[in-house]
Structure formats: structure tokens, C-alpha cells
Amino acid sequence: MESVKLFGTWSSPSSKRVEIALKLKGVEYEYVEEDLQNKSPDLLKYNPIHKKVPILLHNGKPIVESLLIVEYIDETWPGPAILPSDPYDRAMARFWAKFLDEKCWPAMKKAWLSTGEEQEKANEEANEALMFLENELKGKKFFGGDTIGLVDIAANLIALWYGINEELSGLIQQPLTKDKFPNLCEWVDEYTNCSFVKENLPPTDKLAQLYMARIQADKASAQ
Amino acid sequence: MENSGHIVKLYGAWGSPFVHRVIWALKLKGVEYEYIEEDLSNKSSSLLEYNPVHKEVPVLIHNGKPVVDSIVILEYIEETWPHLYPLLPADSYDRALARFWIDFGQQKRPTVHAFCGSSKENNEKTGEKMLETLNIIQDQALGDKKFFGGDSIGMVDLYFGWYVQWFPCFEQLAGLQVLNPSNLPKLHKWAMNFKEEPIIKETLYDSKKLLLHLEGIRKKRYMAAQARVL
């Protein structure tokens, strides 16, 4: 009998990525909510190097790092493909997923936390990054084409962020606006309307509260 | 040689460890390719067209289609020519582990950059952190195996391959040797074995030339950082 366990947190976009992938494939799994202020012995045992969530435990063997877990899920279980079959298309998917994590998200975070000239520069970088993604969506419903793929799952964090946009508008400058990024905004609607994404969305008010607290804390410690 | 119907070009730059990973992968798989040297201080319009996002080398062009980012390129080469010298294990869990170690290396880049940019005056702390990182790589990724890939070279070996020639140059510039037989016996042995593999051996640079080249890059970066501060 197969056993699948996921250690995650309700607010973590990385954690949600794995849940979406599992739900997409129809894999039954046991979910364990971790308290990151008080990490469980299991978390430290299964991810001793990074000590983070998400952790997927498949028949007792741990896999960590959200995008690696998503690829593993795609290779292990049948069902809708998360990565395309053609090597070139797979390379493009991996490229954009990395771009999201390594360029786009850090730029967006920097834009929220910095001030003055540094913030102007960070805003430019964030806008440039989002524009690449905007163009990548041209003529497509999802980054993956007609159906959700790796890049859509990786772009989870943008969808989550956009969802609490209004609550945070007093606190930060939201780069993702409909007039500048029509494709991305439409993508957010399509993506969050997919059943397995929808049923997985964290409560927006709770999430907004959490992010507001974090931004305020980060801004305070930066000063 | 496996090249029926494949036209492969590689945009690279002399001395780039990222480009070298790709060269090793292509040579191990026996894939013929045309190499195009880029002057990174004067990037060609082709490079900018093929890699508008990062504007960097390496860029692999396969039958006219560009693939960028050395790690993405390695996975692409593996999937395009899977039967020639496999670089990843067959088992999906073992593949996830291999990818984990590459990702680990990526996450440790700040530690690596800090050490590689240090000098005699400030290498103690950076050296300590560097050793800590290499200990993890040695004990948990390599263990008692000859190569990270097992009995033969795999993708993780290609990823960490820069340690066999580029890292010693940075050690010299930083004034501190970290990867030596007494600190890291198994990793040091791996480096020696890796360097002796014929395909790897024939691609290594003249050490003095590489040292000068990397010293030049360090100086440029330092001056650029100083300019930003002032």
C-alpha cells in the first residue's frame, strides 16, 4: 500500500504548489500542518538540511523543495501531465519556473520592502520581470497552454499575492494592474477558478493579515 | 557520433564554468556542436536575441531553437539524447535526489561568492562557511561513491565540476585553501578522479591563464562595487 504524506503550512505558496500538483493527479495524501515557530521532530528529520516545508514523504522517503517535488509527482503518478512531453517545451517550462523563483518573486519582494531610489529601481526590475511573463502568456489561457502546467503552479505565488491586492494597497505599491498586465490578470482569474486551485486557496483575510504583519516587520527591521 | 538531423550550436565564453558544464555534457554524449565565443563586454546581437531575459552564456541552439541557463540546458541535453551516456539515474527518486543536490549548490551561491571574493584580510569567516558547505556536499551527496553519479560521471558531477579547476584559483586569490586532502579527503579524491576522466582532462584550461582571467574578473567586480558605493 502506498503512503503519501505532505508536511506544509496553510500560508506557504511553496506548500500550496505541491498540494495543487497532488490534487491535479488525484493522489490521496495525508496532510500535516507544521508550525514553523515550533518545527516538529519529523520536519527536522526529513529535511535536516533546509528545515523547511514543503516535504513530501512517499513510502517513507522524503523529497523537498517545491518545484523538485512537483517534477517528482509528475514522473511518479499518471494523470494530467504537469510538464509537457517534448524536451524543448520542458526546457521552456523549467526556465520560466526558475525565472519566477529566482528573478520575479525576489524583485517583487524587494519592491515592497525598499524605499526611495532603491524602491524605484526594484519596481523597475519587478515590472520588467512581470512583463516577460505577460508576453509569455500571449494567446494562451495558461502558461502550460490549454491546461495548467509547471509554470502555472510555480506562478502560484503571483496568484495568491494578487488575491490580497486590495487589502494591501494601502501598504505597498501593487505592480500587477489590469491596464499594465492584462494577460497576467486574466491568468489569475482563470487559474484561481480551477477547482483544485480554488478549493486550496488560503482564506484571503487571514493571508492578508499575515502578509501585512510580515511587511511591517520587514520594513521596521530594514530601518 | 550522434548527429543525424541535429544542428547544435553553443554560445560560450572562455573561462566560464557554466559554459563548461554544457561542453562536458555534449562531449560525454558525443554530440557534435559548433562553438561560438562571445565577448561578454560586447555581447553579440545573436546572444541578445536568443537570451533576451538574462543576456548570458551559455546558450544552446538546437535546430535553431535556443535553450538558456546551464542547468536547464543539462536537463535538455539529457532528455534529447537520453541513451547516450545517461547523466541522471533511471529511478525517479534518485533523480529527485540528484536535482536536490544541484539545487543545494544553487542555494549556497552566496556562501560560495563570499569566499571566492574574499582576500587574506577577511577569509576566515568566509572560509569557515565554505568548508561547512563542502562538508555537507562531501558527506551527504558524495559519501563513499567515486562520483556523485556513482561509478560514472553524472549531472551532479558536472554541476560541481567547477571545483576541480576554478575553485583552486579562487582559493589562491582568497589566500586560503579549503578543498584539500586533510579537510575533505573524499571530496578531494573525487576532484582528482574527475580531472583524470579523459573527456574532462582534455577540456581543462592552462591553470595560470585561468587564474589571471579570474583575477581580472574579481578586480572588475570590485571596482564596479566600489563605483556603486561612491
Amino acid type, B165: Q
pLDDT in tens, B83-98: 999 999 999 999 999 9
Question: What class does CATH assign to B8-80?
Answer: alpha beta
On chain B, the residues whose CB falls within 8 A of the CB of A65 are 100, 103
How many angstroms separate the most distant Cα atoms in chain B?
Answer: 56
pLDDT at A42 over 80: yes
Closest CA to A16 of A52, A70, A60: A70
Question: What class does CATH assign to A4-76?
Answer: alpha beta
Where helices occur in chain B by DSSP H, the ranges are: 17-28, 45-50, 70-80, 92-107, 109-116, 123-136, 155-160, 166-174, 185-196, 198-201, 207-229
Share of chain B above pLDDT 70, in %: 97
* Average pLDDT value for residue range A159-164: 76
Is the Cβ pair B76, A98 closer than 8 Å? no
pTM above 0.80, yes or no: yes
Q: pLDDT at position A147, please?
A: 92
CA of B79 vs chain A CAs: smallest distance (Å): 6
Task: For Cα atoms B170, B172, B175, give the angle at the middle one, nearest 5 degrees.
Answer: 105
How many angstroms separate the most distant Cα atoms in chain A?
Answer: 58
Where does chain B hold its CATH 1.20.1050.10 domain(s)? 92-201
Of B69, B100, B140, the CB nearest to A65: B100
Work out the pLDDT band at B223, boundaries 50, 70, 90: confident
* Average pLDDT value for residue range B191-196: 98
Round to whole Å and give the CA distance between B76 and B193: 26
Domain boundaries, given as residue ranges, for chain A: 4-76, 87-222
The answer to whether domain B92-201 has CATH 1.10.3720.10 is: no
Residue A135: closest CA among chain B residues belongs to which residue? B53
Q: Which residues are paired to A7 by β-bridges?
A: A32, A55
Q: pLDDT at position A222, please?
A: 67
pLDDT at B1 over 50: no
Q: Which three cell numbers stand for residue B128?
A: 569557515
Where does chain B hold its CATH 3.40.30.10 domain(s)? 8-80
A87-222 has which fold?
A: Glutathione S-transferase Yfyf (Class Pi); Chain A, domain 2 (1.20.1050)
On chain A, the residues whose CB falls within 8 A of the CB of B99 are 68, 71
Q: pLDDT at position A114, please?
A: 75
